[in-house]
Amino acid sequence: MQTEIQDRKIGSLSKLSAYLHFMWAGVVRQSQTGGIVPSQRFLIDRMISPVPRDYRGRVIELGAGTGALTVRLAARCPKASILACDLNPNLARANRELVRRAGLDGRVEVAARSAESLLSEISRHSSEKPDFVISGIPLGYLSAEEVGALVEIIERALGRNGMYIQFQHSLLSRRIIRARFPRLHTTPVWLNFPPAVIYYARR
């Protein structure tokens, strides 16, 4: 019942505002956002589906954008602690506002910082490593070396049996991800625009 109420709250928020924020960021800083249209519900639901509804641990979201996935995840998993980050301060601000309006402030933290700095801090200081790292970072705009470094730090930050979930619009980074996460499964999401591929990766 709580999830249904939360879903109705989220559905009543202004989607137009989030789209405008994302589209503007996509035009100005496309290498950070990777597109001009935020991920759609078909893709979001597939990305968060491995996280159990009664999960009580920590989830890290990288490249969180305006918060479309953030609030869906929080509604699906009301007992989880979620830390979302985005390098673009405008998108992080929009995400924070969406979280506030959805009444999720207590369980969701949104940070305007790089994934690398956040994950490095978690690796060094956190006693509770996350079981899930969910990423919307546009790997296609990064060099092979940058992708490798990011995947390595994600692997170090994850809990022992953790899962790394990443979406892309291609399979270009498959080999690099598999080098750190040999148990790798990919699935296409044709209903997203543009079509996407989700990587589900474990050690």
Alpha-carbon span 77 to 44, nearest angstrom: 14
Residues of the chain with pLDDT below 50 are 2, 4-5, 8-38
Please report, as a single letter, which amino acid is at residue 159: G
Q: What is the pLDDT at residue 39?
A: 59
Q: What is the pLDDT at residue 105?
A: 85
Token output for 52: 């159990």
Token output for 36: 């001009």
Q: HSE on the CB side for 138, CA within 13 Å?
A: 17
Q: What letters, b where the CB count within 10 A reaches 16 and e where it falls short, cover 93-125?
A: ebbbbbbebbebeeebebbeeebeebbeebeee
- Residue 189: which CATH number? 3.40.50.150
The range of the structural domain enclosing residue 143 comes to 2-202
User: Do the Cβ atoms of 123 and 153 come closer than 8 Å?
Assistant: yes
Alpha-carbon span 95 to 101, nearest angstrom: 10
Please report, as a single letter, which amino acid is at residue 158: L
Closest CA to 201 of 43, 50, 18, 40: 50
Q: Secondary structure of 136-185 in the HEC alphabet?
A: CCCHHHCCHHHHHHHHHHHHHHCCCCCEEEEEECCCCCHHHHHHHCCEEE
Q: What is the pLDDT at residue 79?
A: 95
Q: What is the count of structural domains for the chain?
A: 1
